[in-house]
């Protein structure tokens, strides 16, 4: 903790000690009342200021979280200023029917909105505009409840007893709802966030309990400012400063983005429940005959206005949701189209590779008889022949040479073209290959588990050729698993001694890997039937290796090794991978 923070906390502790000592020693008097009110203002001002750096130094969702927390504490501080103004400056008691009570009631709403942001959890794809509408809907709903239940006994028909009873009951429900939300956030968090939520829960619990006891004492005319009832309340105020200063040294980090939308859906459902509860309150207002008619009609008119406002917000929210759905549908169609085009390109590449291997083999087989024919034709030309025979022998030699040129062209076509070397992100490459082959492993009912490291692994190579290797190996492995009735394929990436290691297997096997050669074994379970010769040739161009291992009743484990290049310091190297989808983990 920084030195100034220790001095700050020590000053807060001194103020708290003075308040406790005064409550124990001084009798009920204006001096005690003024001292208690001023110290409580100082404690809340200190808590508010301790949260300001969080708002200034953070960004995005984390900044909104701290802004809402600071707003809630500011509302509390404002209410205490009003209280101090009446009791110290005006030297009079706070009115029984006090308009400032709505400030202390609403100060919890921004705190609940901050918790609803869930900054400790990965950020989902729930649209920010929709989330803001849901927050606004909930704030309007709490304000509507206050006006519906409390305000009529203040302005429509003044009744101090009914006003205090309804205010305390509604405020207690709000505090319990906040404590429940805070408890859920505490349980669902970890690390520094768990410490933060635990501190907030402790301070809020002390505040809720002390305010409830203070209201109980106030109803029995035993409460006065500066009494022992204010000590737990002051402790909760001082705790806010400790939270603000200690959390600055242990700054929690906002969660990363994920594809989950479950939290946004739950938040939307809560908002819908709040909107649909308005007609129930209208029915209650009409059917409760124990309520005076003036208050009953006030509540009915208020409910109609709230229903209209919430209905407009729900309509706007639905329009935004429809636009979001259309955007996602268009993006999905575009992604599916790109995947189909990439699959077609890969299929064509595989066909051309097969044709190239076929032509290469045929050309090698033709070279031997062509060489013999050329030799015999030259030998024939050197013997004594008639002019007609010499002309025929020359034509034979000419056509043999033409055939040899054609074979040379076939060999040139079959020979792989030079690779375009560039830095390639290996994790992204494998994710793309898995996504391309998703229809295959889903149709075979095989689960694909991907285990990739967090760091970026860059290799130097041709992204298209390496993608072809990954697709070929994974596709062949899927078919081997299906033949042996195995349902899980594990794809993992490791980094050791400057070498990236890709393991593709159906179980964890141990032992020695051997380098793949085209005639490894005649066993039907060996790699000789996988057609990986082209992959081995590409890997050799990239200074890599293709190894395999077969264990009894353990399936086949394929291992690819390829050198890693370190990323340039301070610069993000281009990956060169033709990624057509946003990479996400598959397991």
351: containing domain: 337-414
Average pLDDT over residues 273-293: 82
CATH of the domain at 180: 1.20.1070
Average pLDDT over residues 175-187: 91
- Measuring CA to CA, which residue among 47, 51, 25 is closest to residue 36? 25
Instruction: State how far Cα 203 lies from the chain centre.
Output: 29
- For 106-122, how does the pLDDT look when each residue is reduced to its tens digit (9 = 90+)? 899 899 888 877 777 66
Chosen domain end from 396, 414, 432: 414
User: Which region among 414-423, 435-444, 481-490, 512-521 has the lowest average model confidence (pLDDT)?
Assistant: 512-521
Q: Are 544 and 404 in a shared domain?
A: no
Give percent of the chain with pLDDT exceeding 90.
26
Q: Are 501 and 543 in a shared domain?
A: yes
Q: Is residue 580 part of a domain?
A: no
The pLDDT score that the predictor gives to residue 136 is 78
The pLDDT score that the predictor gives to residue 504 is 87
Q: Is residue 298 part of a domain?
A: no
CATH of the domain at 402: 1.10.287.130
Chosen domain end from 287, 320, 354: 287
d(CA 533, CA 537): 6
Averaged pLDDT score across all residues of the chain: 80
The pLDDT score that the predictor gives to residue 48 is 95
Residue 258, pLDDT > 70, answer no
Give percent of the chain with pLDDT exceeding 70.
79
Q: Are 426 and 344 in a shared domain?
A: no
- For 456-469, how does the pLDDT look when each residue is reduced to its tens digit (9 = 90+)? 888 888 887 788 78
48 CB burial (10 A radius; 0-12, 13-18, 19+) = buried
d(CA 153, CA 161): 9
Residue 581, pLDDT > 50, answer no
The pLDDT score that the predictor gives to residue 89 is 93
Q: Is residue 556 part of a domain?
A: yes
Residue 474, pLDDT > 60, answer yes
Q: Are 526 and 438 in a shared domain?
A: yes
The most confident of the ranges 166-170, 250-254, 434-438, 466-470 is 166-170
Cα separation values, 7 from 2, 11, 199, Å: 9, 6, 20
522-539 residues labelled b (16+ CB within 10 A) or e (exposed):
eeeebbbbbbbebbbebb
User: Which region among 9-23, 191-205, 542-556 has the lowest average model confidence (pLDDT)?
Assistant: 542-556
- Measuring CA to CA, which residue among 409, 428, 450, 456 is closest to residue 564? 456
Q: Which residue has the higher pLDDT, 472 or 408?
A: 472
Q: Are 7 and 109 in a shared domain?
A: yes
Residue 231, pLDDT > 90, answer yes
**Alpha-carbon torsion 263, 265, 268, 272, what sign?**
negative
The pLDDT score that the predictor gives to residue 70 is 94
Residue 496, pLDDT > 50, answer yes
Q: Are 427 and 404 in a shared domain?
A: no
SS3 of 52, please? helix
- For 6-52, how does the pLDDT look when each residue is reduced to its tens digit (9 = 90+)? 999 999 999 999 999 999 999 989 999 999 999 999 999 999 999 99
Chosen domain end from 266, 287, 308: 287
- For 236-249, how does the pLDDT look when each residue is reduced to its tens digit (9 = 90+)? 999 999 999 988 65
Q: What is the pTM of this model?
A: 0.58
382-401 residues labelled b (16+ CB within 10 A) or e (exposed):
eeeeeeeeeeebeebbeebe
The pLDDT score that the predictor gives to residue 519 is 41
Q: Is residue 572 part of a domain?
A: no
The pLDDT score that the predictor gives to residue 67 is 92
Residue 271, pLDDT > 70, answer no
Q: Are 459 and 436 in a shared domain?
A: yes
User: Which region among 83-92, 192-201, 381-390, 424-433 has the lowest average model confidence (pLDDT)?
Assistant: 381-390
Q: Is residue 304 part of a domain?
A: no
The pLDDT score that the predictor gives to residue 69 is 94
Q: Which residue has the higher pLDDT, 117 or 165?
A: 165
Task: Please report which helix (H) or strand (E) contains residue 560, including its range.
Answer: strand 556-563
The pLDDT score that the predictor gives to residue 522 is 41
Q: Are 390 and 452 in a shared domain?
A: no
| Total domain count, the chain | 3
Q: Is residue 579 part of a domain?
A: no
Q: Are 402 and 449 in a shared domain?
A: no
The pLDDT score that the predictor gives to residue 415 is 57
- For 557-580, how does the pLDDT look when each residue is reduced to its tens digit (9 = 90+)? 888 999 998 755 444 444 444 433
Q: Are 430 and 492 in a shared domain?
A: yes
Q: Is residue 203 part of a domain?
A: yes
Q: Is residue 331 part of a domain?
A: no
Average pLDDT over residues 193-216: 91
- For 505-533, how does the pLDDT look when each residue is reduced to its tens digit (9 = 90+)? 876 555 555 565 544 444 434 444 444 66
Q: Are 143 and 259 in a shared domain?
A: yes
Phi, psi (deg, nearest 5) at residue 17: -65, -40
Question: Confidence class of residue 259 from pLDDT cuts 50, 70 and 90?
Answer: very low
Q: Which residue has the higher pLDDT, 272 or 471?
A: 471
The pLDDT score that the predictor gives to residue 153 is 92
d(CA 435, CA 437): 5
Q: Are 111 and 243 in a shared domain?
A: yes
CATH of the domain at 521: 3.30.565.10
């Amino acid at each position: 903790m920084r030195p100034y923070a220790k001095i700050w906390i020590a000053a807060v502790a001194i103020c708290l000690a003075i308040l406790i000592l005064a409550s124990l020693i001084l009798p009920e008097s204006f001096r005690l009342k003024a001292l208690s009110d001023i110290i409580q203002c100082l404690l809340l001002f200190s808590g508010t200021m301790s949260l300001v750096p969080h708002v200034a130094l953070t960004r995005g969702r984390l900044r909104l979280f701290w802004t809402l927390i600071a707003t809630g504490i500011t509302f509390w501080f404002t209410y205490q200023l009003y209280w101090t103004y009446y009791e110290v400056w005006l030297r009079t008691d706070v009115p029984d029917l006090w308009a400032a009570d709505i400030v202390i009631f609403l100060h919890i709403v921004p705190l609940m909105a901050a918790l609803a942001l869930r900054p400790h959890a990965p950020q989902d794809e729930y649209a920010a505009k929709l989330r803001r509408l849901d927050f606004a809907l909930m704030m309007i709903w709490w304000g509507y409840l206050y006006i519906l239940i409390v305000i009529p006994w203040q302005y429509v028909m003044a009744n101090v007893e009914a006003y205090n009873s309804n205010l305390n009951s509604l405020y207690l429900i709000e505090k319990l709802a906040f404590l429940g939300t805070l408890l859920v956030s505490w349980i669902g968090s970890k690390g520094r966030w768990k410490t933060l939520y635990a501190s907030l829960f402790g301070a809020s619990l002390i505040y809720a309990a002390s305010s409830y006891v203070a209201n109980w004492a106030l109803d029995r005319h035993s409460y006065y400012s500066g009494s022992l009832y204010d000590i737990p309340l002051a402790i909760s105020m001082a705790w806010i400063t400790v939270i603000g200063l200690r959390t600055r040294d242990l700054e929690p980090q906002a969660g990363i983005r994920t594809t989950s939308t479950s939290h946004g859906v739950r938040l939307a459902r809560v908002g819908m429940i709040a909107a649909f509860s308005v007609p129930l309150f209208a029915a209650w207002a009409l059917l409760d005959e124990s309520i005076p008619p003036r208050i009953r009609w006030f509540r009915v008119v208020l409910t109609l206005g709230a229903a209209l406002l919430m209905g407009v917000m729900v309509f706007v929210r639905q329009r935004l949701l429809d636009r979001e759905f259309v955007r996602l549908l268009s993006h999905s169609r575009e992604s599916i189209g790109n995947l189909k085009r990439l699959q077609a390109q890969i299929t064509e590449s595989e066909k051309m590779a097969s044709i190239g291997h076929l032509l290469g083999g045929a050309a090698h087989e033709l070279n031997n008889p062509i060489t013999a024919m050329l030799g015999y034709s030259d030998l024939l030309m050197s013997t004594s022949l008639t002019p007609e025979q010499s002309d025929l022998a020359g034509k034979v030699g000419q056509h043999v040479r033409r055939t040899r040129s054609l074979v040379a062209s076939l060999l040139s076509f079959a020979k792989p073209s030079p690779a375009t070397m560039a830095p390639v992100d290996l994790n992204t490459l494998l994710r793309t290959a898995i996504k391309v082959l998703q229809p295959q492993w889903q149709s075979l009912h095989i689960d694909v588990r991907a285990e990739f490291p967090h760091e970026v692994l860059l290799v130097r190579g041709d992204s298209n050729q390496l993608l072809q290797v990954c697709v070929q190996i994974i596709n062949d492995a899927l078919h081997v698993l299906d033949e042996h009735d195995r349902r899980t394929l594990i794809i993992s990436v490791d980094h050791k001694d400057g070498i990236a290691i890709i393991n593709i297997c159906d179980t964890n096997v141990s032992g020695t890997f051997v380098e793949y050669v085209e005639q490894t074994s005649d066993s039907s379970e060996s790699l000789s039937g996988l057609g990986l010769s082209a992959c081995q040739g590409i890997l050799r161009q990239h200074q890599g290796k293709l190894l395999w291992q077969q264990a009894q009743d353990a399936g086949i484990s394929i291992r690819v090794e390829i050198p890693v290049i370190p990323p340039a310091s301070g610069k993000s190297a281009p990956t060169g991978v033709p990624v057509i989808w946003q990479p996400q983990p598959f397991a």
